Structure 1
Amino acid sequence: MKNLSRLFFAMLLLFSFSNANAQDENNPWAIGVGVNAVDFYPTGEDGQGGIFDEYFNFGDHYNVLPSLSSISVSRYLSDGFSLTVAGTINEISKIGDAPADDLSYYALDGTVKYSFGHLFNSKVFEPYLGVGGGYTWVDDIGAGTVNGTLGFNVWFSDNIGITVQSAYKHAFEDYLATHFQHTVGLALKFGGKDTDGDGIYDKDDACPDVPGLPEFNGCPDTDGDGIEDSKDDCPNEPGLAEFNGCPDTDGDGVPDHLDDCPTVPGLKALKGCPDADGDGVADHIDECPNVAGPAANKGCPWPDRDGDGVLDKDDKCPDVPGTVANFGCPEVKPSAEKMKQLNDYARTILFDTGKATFKKESHQTLEAMNAIFKEFPEATFALEGYTDSVGSERSNQLLSERRANAVKDWLIANGIDKDRLTAKGFGEDNPIDSNKTAAGRTNNRRVEVKLTN
């Protein structure tokens, strides 16, 4: 019972060592369980013959306890080196050819091992050499030993294998015979980290935080086209290797993300768009797609001098921009729909806070309004400015006038006849929304356009 307590104490030390020194490497820990055989003869001492004379005489000289009799914990260090601490128990019934009185045998040993697995370039067979020392008790009499080991592991998977080992244990005291101890057992490796759970340990995973595939070192291929995402220009759409993972739906040799006409086969020179008349103008921007014409005439053989989109041959006012609906001539007055469009633009004009100067993003809106004014060169308009109720009534009145005039001045500076425009401010009058909310006040700060003639 005393010796059994020693073994349990030794095992407690082993597992404490394991928990205190855990590191983040691929399977750095291994636990082994198995059986051991102790052979006190021959050792080459006291005239007992050569050290290996009866090394394989299992039947006559090996002492084997028919139960679990060995447990070990190993920690990988680096560069092929590992540290193993093992505890063993046995029953000695024979020493050489001489019978023994079932002596108890306990040992605690530490070994530094060096793996030669790299020489075989195999993940299955791993031979090793080791050197170390320990303490062995035979019937309560103990002595230190220095040990040399030779063995090999056979791994069935990344985590499970068997270990076969032979250790020569030289005792420091005469009362303990130098002997062999042979061990066969099951080894279980563990402790590797796989953050993304893709079965590839972080140490070997090029994308440790994203589940991936073994063929891409743990990196993903989201669209399943055989090209890993980091090298795929279109990682969410299955594509072709020649286009770095991007698709070419119409098969014209231009990948979809560079193809202006991705569903219609076309020419590379025209970004994948067709040119039915061969005039170098893609059909989708060619106003005469079946008749060849110069690009300057939008692919048509006939000119459009006023640039209103109506070719001169069909334009009743070829020198004055007009509308298609009016056969190339300008409309006299804007329709209700045009006025609504004009006011939709006007109400989105943004001014700098408390000023009559425009924010940069309003310039595109003013350009759109200017284009509508130019469609109706005979019509006249009134520009009306409004504010919200924040501030004094007089300051709001002045601000609304300045803003209405700012819009008028911009339009005149950009080609609209000054006699066609008037500007007036109405301050905080005529709100179109509540001044009690921020959204309502935003709607009330506006410019409106009225048709006067």
Structure 2
Amino acid sequence: MKHLSRFLAVSLLVLGLSTANAQDENNPWAVSIGINAVDIFPTGGDLINQGEIFDEFFNANDHWNILPSVSQLSVGRYIGDGFSFTVSGSVNKIENAGELPDGTQVNVDDLSYYAADGLISYSFKNILKSGKLDPSLGIGGGYTWLDEVGAGTLNGALGLKYWFTENLALNVQTTYKHVFEDYEVSNYPPTHFQHSAGLTFAFGGKDTDGDGIYDKDDECPDVPGLKEFNGCPDTDGDGITDAKDDCPDTAGLAEFNGCPDTDGDGVADPKDECPTVAGLPALNGCPDADGDGITDAKDECPNEAGPAENNGCPYQDKDGDGVLDKDDNCPDVAGTVANNGCPEVTEEVQKTLNEYAAQVLFDSGKSSIKEASNKVLQDIIAILKEYPTAKFTVEGHTDSAGSNKLNQRLSDSRANAVKNYLTENGVDQFRLSAVGYGEDRPIATNKTRAGRAKNRRVEINLVKE
């Protein structure tokens, strides 16, 4: 029980040692269990006529002491750059202690063997670029007990692991343990070899998102991803990781940072105002069939080029007078360029107006228009409407009969009477003005009846700008 307690204490030391290191950065922790064999003979010692160093090294039948059960436990942690630190505890029974000069085996009475060791080892796995074979060299020290006697040792080890999986390996190791002090034959332990074999379980790799890629290699450790993208996701499967994909939920092209270009016009859909119709980059992906710089959707004349101020339509010249409607003051009536698209009142038209105006008759001494004048007044209205922007003055004139004051009043009244008739029948009032000149502007002599008849008149004259 005393020896068993000692082994349990060593085991607890091994399992609780937080500074132990092993394996690699992905799975930094490792636990190994197995069996061990102690061989005293091939160490070059002279306590019991031991053989030369490595003499009969593989003579397991004659020299190895093996406990037929799990007899070794180790815990290790990876340090970095290929180095690991491992602590181990082992137990055994020593029956074969060497041989006499005549070759007779020296047997002892089942001495209890206990050892606690620490080892720093270097793995050649990465140098060999091997995924399975993992050879190593190590150096360290420990303490070994044979029954009640213990001694410190300086250890050197050669090991080999074969990894079946990322976490499971078969391991074999040979350790040379050199005892620091000389002991008599009766005072073991002597310098010896300890061989071991067993299984190694590597663990401790952190994979927060569970995508099979350890956090240290995972560029997106909190989000499940793909190995080919170092653990980052590609939700839409377009070969661009979500972090670099402007459209992570829709498959797209690398040239558009993962966004699609549905209409193939070179403008990515998020920036394309017309994503289903091929268009122009300058117009945010929208088409312009007539090439006037206005997208078809906003162009009231998509097949005819026109300016933006006219909603993409060309300016019209409805009356065909050479003046565009936008500049034509009379877009529905042919005119002249000089008169801004409006017709000009010629001398002949002016003459015709006054011939008609001279036929307007009034009641004697009054400003009321006789009904017989309606026909000629309608003719005057028709002419005025042909020149919708022209302005006219209705002038009233009298002969010299009667007082000057009376004639002035009468001429004013008659001029206004004609003006009122015209405006009441469709002529814009702002185009007409009325003035009376009394007897001041005769066109014939007032000394004859015929002359006075000519002087009693109404004229409609163009107002010149």
Q: Paired residue for 1:102?
A: 110
Q: Paired residue for 1:210?
A: 223
Among 116, 128, 142, the residue aligned to 2:150 = 142
In the alignment, structure 2 segments of 5+ residues that lack a partner are 100-104, 318-323, 333-465
**3-state SS of 1:18 partner:** coil
Deviates more, 1:3-12 or 1:148-157: 148-157
CA contact (8 A) 2:225 2:231 kept: yes
Alpha-carbon separation, structure 1, partners of 2:61 and 2:234 = 59
Alpha-carbon separation, structure 1, partners of 2:36 and 2:316 = 101
Aligned identity (percent) is 66
Q: Paired residue for 2:60?
A: 58
Among 82, 93, 104, the residue aligned to 2:84 = 82
Residues 146, 301 of structure 1: CA spacing in aligned structure 2 closer, same or farther, 3 A cutoff?
same
**3-state SS of 2:18 partner:** helix
- The Cα offsets for residues 415-437 of structure 1, whole Å up to 9 and x where unpaired, read as xxxxxxxxxxxxxxxxxxxxxxx
Alpha-carbon separation, structure 1, partners of 2:163 and 2:310 = 77
- Aligned pairs for 1:203-282 (under 5 A) are 203-282=216-295
Alpha-carbon separation, structure 1, partners of 2:329 and 2:189 = 122
Aligned AA for 2:15?
Answer: F
CA drift at 1:162: 2.2
Alpha-carbon separation, structure 1, partners of 2:271 and 2:191 = 79
CA drift at 1:295: 4.1
**3-state SS of 2:84 partner:** strand
Q: Paired residue for 1:114?
A: 122
Aligned AA for 1:39?
Answer: D
1:13 aligns with 2:13: yes
- Aligned pairs for 1:191-206 (under 5 A) are 191-206=204-219
- Aligned pairs for 1:45-444 (under 5 A) are 45-46=45-46, 48-96=50-98, 98=105, 99-173=107-181, 174=183, 175-302=188-315
CA drift at 1:303: 6.1
CA drift at 1:228: 0.7
Aligned AA for 2:148?
Answer: D
CA contact (8 A) 2:20 2:87 kept: no
Aligned residues: 311
CA drift at 1:301: 1.7
Aligned AA for 1:214?
Answer: K
CA contact (8 A) 2:261 2:275 kept: yes
Question: Under a length normalisation based on structure 2, what TM-score does the superposition of the two structures give?
Answer: 0.61
Aligned AA for 2:189?
Answer: L
Q: Paired residue for 2:31?
A: 31
CA drift at 1:102: 3.1
CA contact (8 A) 1:25 1:191 kept: no
Alpha-carbon separation, structure 2, partners of 1:78 and 1:30 = 14
Question: Under a length normalisation based on structure 1, what TM-score does the superposition of the two structures give?
Answer: 0.62
Alpha-carbon separation, structure 2, partners of 1:35 and 1:89 = 9
CA contact (8 A) 1:18 1:73 kept: no
**3-state SS of 2:216 partner:** helix
1:40 aligns with 2:48: no
Aligned AA for 2:279?
Answer: G
Aligned AA for 2:94?
Answer: I
CA drift at 1:291: 2.3
Shift >4 Å, 4+ stretches: 19-22, 315-319
- The Cα offsets for residues 285-338 of structure 1, whole Å up to 9 and x where unpaired, read as 22111223344433222269xxxxxx969x99989xxxxxxxxxxxxxxxxxxx
Q: Paired residue for 1:396?
A: none
Alpha-carbon separation, structure 2, partners of 1:266 and 1:220 = 33
CA drift at 1:109: 0.9
Aligned AA for 1:33?
Answer: I
Alpha-carbon separation, structure 2, partners of 1:136 and 1:318 = 119
Residues 7, 302 of structure 1: CA spacing in aligned structure 2 closer, same or farther, 3 A cutoff?
same
CA contact (8 A) 1:103 1:138 kept: yes
